[in-house]
A and B are shown apart, each in its own frame.
Chain A
Amino acid sequence: MTREAYHKSLKDVQDEVLKMADMVGKALKDSMEALKQRDLEVSKRIIENDVLINRIRFDIEDKCLLLIATQQPMAVDLRMLAAVINIITDLERIGDHAEGIAKINISIGTEPMVKPLVDIPRMAEKGISMLDRCMKAFVNRDIEAARAICNEDDEVDALYDQTYRELLLVMIENPRTIQGATYLIWAAHNLERTADRVTNIAERIVFMVTGKMEEMNVSKY
């Protein structure tokens, strides 16, 4: 009673999740690049394309529900589908964070930056790298890698603290920067949340493999 068509469908779901993660990773990278380059056109495109991320999320969810309804998945397969339904929710929200950064770029418009961007791009780079490795851990069912990624969230939190403190000082020194500095705090907040969501995904990977839900890194925010 080997179920080849069913297992192929499970593999298809996994491939779709990877495709979605690629789209989300690219949106995040582009949103940061656009903020750095002050490229409003790219930001507009990211906002428009977010609908595609939302669509693939619902497509994957549909496929998961159909498999649950028609194939009665059990054990590791059931855990995978349960994990996927949660993972795509987090991926979709990371897409929203990328869209958030794009909107901030548009809000800043042609105004000059209140300070050079140093730690914010680092946060983005770290978040993108965490997401990328997290998806590799998903494919390889690698719980050690997933656990290690959760610990990296502290580094992003530290960068966020630093960014926040610096921007606070900028505002204290020159109240006319308040609007511009607040925009950047929002951008940093989007990236801090991105890393939290990657941590959630890593936790789901551990659950998918072990059947145990572990909260591995509680965000300070």
Chain B
Amino acid sequence: MAFKIRDVNAFYNEKQALKSVNLEIQECSVTAIIGPSGCGKSTFIRCLNRMNDLVPMFRVEGEMLYNGMNIYSRDLDITELRRRIGMVFQKPNPFPKSIYENVAYGLRIQGINKRNILHKVVEESLRKAALWEEVKDRLNASALTLSGGQQQRLCIARAIATEPEAILFDEPCSALDPVATAKIEDLITELKKEYTVVIVTHNMQQAARVSEFTGFFMMGELIEFNITRKIFTAPSNKMTEDYITGRFG
């Protein structure tokens, strides 16, 4: 298991956002997190690489392990954690730099500046993100000239460049059109061969299409966690069924 989450509670000030969450996330697989707005799914995924540390008054209780390492340990190097567990956000957020420099950025801040290494990593990362063929002739163009779908794949390439082990996707397609969405979904299916993928999505069909495991959150609680096929054809919990069939939410 890549992630082991035991009895996790999370709070924004007094407001409890996660309640006794227990789950395990398998290595080299895609795990989808679904649930209505405000159910805690983004809070949950952002705990996995401590993105919530930046939120004032946020605190977390319980145990979150990544390959046996305590994610919330005081002496943990958070930059190193986020290198190992990368993240792609809802809105593509390329830096206002060239396509090349966006991908090379993570390496440069690690002090890697050798051109041949950077060239190699940039090309490999762009290839893995299924973007190389579209940008190979304009690597020095601004990343902001790319379409939304291309920008999102660039962000994925940027995450891959630092050789992470897991990638967290927080609604990666909600700002994209259907064609760009399909490309990202195909890419996620490719990525799981090498990386552990966790994806938060509002789009249940997307969860059904790309993931092997699905967790359904409601009001901070993990209501059901199971293999995706089971969740979308015959869920065990009535609340899950009511949510995915549109009877509430």
Contact = CB atoms under 8 A, between A and B. Distances in A.
Interface string B211-249: 000000000000000000000111100001100111111
A75 B234 contact: yes
Given A72-B205, A74-B204, A75-B241, A6 B246 contact: yes
B210 to A, nearest CB: 15
A48 to B, nearest CB: 41
Contacts of A118: none
Interface string A69-94: 00011111111000000000000000
Contact of B245 (A77, A210, A211): A77
Contacts of B245: 73-77
Contacts of B139: none
Contacts of A78: 232-233
A211 B205 contact: no
A77 to B, nearest CB: 5
A78 B246 CA distance: 12
Interface residues of B, number: 16
Given A75-B241, A76-B241, A211 B234 contact: yes
A211 B241 CA distance: 12
Given A75-B234, A75-B235, A76-B241, A1 B249 contact: yes
A3 B244 CA distance: 11
Interface of A: 1-3, 6-7, 72-79, 210-212
23 contacts: A1-B246, A1-B248, A1-B249, A2-B248, A3-B246, A3-B247, A7-B246, A7-B247, A72-B204, A73-B245, A74-B204, A74-B232, A74-B233, A74-B245, A75-B233, A75-B240, A75-B245, A76-B245, A77-B245, A78-B233, A79-B233, A210-B234, A212-B234
Interface of B: 36, 204-205, 208, 232-235, 240-241, 244-249
